[in-house]
Amino acid sequence: MEKTIVLRQLGESLRPMLKFLRKSMVKTMTGCTPQLMLQQEREDRKRELDERERDKEREREEREREKERDRDERQQEREAWKKETNYLVSALQALQFKLNVQFLPPQPAATDLQLPLVAPSGSANSDTTPTCIEAQACCLVVWQVFCPLSCYGVNVVAPGSVNGERRSECQMADDRGWGCPKS
């Protein structure tokens, strides 16, 4: 880019000298008339204007290419930042879950928790099945942070499920040994 600018400046400074030399050569070689000189000057001016226009066009194209490169680089940086942020959030959530599970008090019995035993409408479960009660207790103990409100005794069993089917929160708690019943 700098070389182009230096060459362009050099060309600009040499242009008047070349113009003068051209006129001198035309005069000496042809002994030309003022009309031919005027025509030659017009052609020279037109050529100069064309060259300047081409230079401006080249500069404009170069600026556009640089803008596109910058835009692409910023987009790639944004995407990399999003991926890293998502990874960090996932890692923090996993760490928070581990800490919550490690420092929980002993699991109370299901009968100690005064839970509303209401199965959701459309469910095949009844209010009094032991599976429903124990799953609610498990959710209350293990999933205090991550469990949605529906796990706190009302919608433990998903609507339309068959008897004994459990929500994924209780399944995960059971996998970690917190005593959720096997269906």
CA distances, 96 to each of 11, 47, 146, 174 (Å)? 69, 73, 10, 18
Per-residue pLDDT reduced to its tens digit, 86-143: 999 988 888 887 777 666 555 555 444 444 444 343 333 334 444 444 444 444 444 3
pLDDT value at residue 121 = 38
CA distances, 122 to each of 58, 127, 144, 155 (Å)? 71, 13, 26, 11
At 14 the three-state DSSP class reads: helix
User: How far apart (Å, rounded) are the C-alpha atoms in residues 136 and 157?
Assistant: 9
Residue position matching structure tokens 């400074």:
13
Per-residue pLDDT reduced to its tens digit, 5-45: 777 777 777 777 777 777 666 555 555 566 777 788 889 99
pLDDT at 150 over 90: no
Q: Is the pTM of this model over 0.75?
A: no
pLDDT value at residue 24 = 67
pLDDT value at residue 38 = 79
